[in-house]
A = this chain, B = another copy of it.
């Protein structure tokens, strides 16, 4: 089980560009399993090396992949706009993350060069069975924990948005850690922080201003479903234990 980004990408050539290093063990990339259970659960049992997904890639893939798997989307222009709390950067002593800098501010960072972009593209392309076109932008929120992802996609020709939404609900129906809400406005950081859950909502254009447009919103706790919680979930699956062991009792609080 690896929690870094070192074994998440299949294509070793991506590492120098996005991570700034030449991969020393490219042969391991092929055998490493990408541990995102709700999408690729069948890969996990028996795996020798599980790469635990990044935080942004988890929120993005859970929002978009079920629709790509079913062929509901035009994969030529997918946009992932996401915002994370400061713990996404780890626990470090840098001025950039000091209270005086972050509080009352909001900004984009690593624009069009974030290292999670190829990881998101890899999951989306796998589910679309083709290379997707993807733009991803990360923002820094003045909160401690949580990632909200707002994904923009276009319906494939002839698809009905309310049927697509029903299919999305159906896809996650049996998942204990994903909940699909009737409105994207119910998807908030507060509804997931402190838990291993992902909340998802979806809306579609009814005004004619952008025909065929879908907006899918997801929320996770970057430290739980986006990191250690998902690692426990992967371990549970790999070891044949109950998938929710040690995770089901996690509770956030409100307010």
Contact = CB atoms under 8 A, between A and B. Distances in A.
Interface in A77-102: 77, 79, 81, 83, 85-87, 91-95, 97-102
Contacts of A146: 104-106
Contact of A152 (B103, B152, B193): B152
Q: How many copies of this chain does one complex carry?
A: 4
Contact of A185 (B17, B98, B109): B109
B187 A107 contact: yes
Q: Which of A107, A133, A142 has the largest count of B CB atoms less than 10 A from its CB?
A: A107
Interface stretch (A33-41, A162-170, A208-216): A208-216
B137 A150 contact: yes
Contacts of A211: 133
A110 B81 CA distance: 17
A184 interface: yes
A145 interface: yes
Interface residues on A, range: 35 or more
A143 B142 contact: yes
A171 interface: no
Contacts of A184: 108, 111
A15 interface: no
Nearest to A133: B210
Contacts of A93: 93-95, 98
Given A17-B207, A108-B148, A108-B217, A95 B92 contact: yes
A61 to B, nearest CB: 15
Interface stretch (A45-53, A64-72, A198-206, A233-241): A198-206
Contact of A105 (B112, B189, B203): B189
A118 interface: yes
Contacts of A85: 100
29 contacts: A17-B207, A18-B207, A81-B137, A81-B152, A86-B100, A93-B94, A98-B99, A99-B99, A104-B143, A104-B193, A105-B188, A108-B148, A108-B185, A111-B183, A111-B184, A111-B203, A112-B205, A112-B206, A117-B207, A118-B207, A118-B209, A133-B213, A134-B210, A135-B152, A135-B205, A137-B215, A141-B141, A141-B142, A152-B152
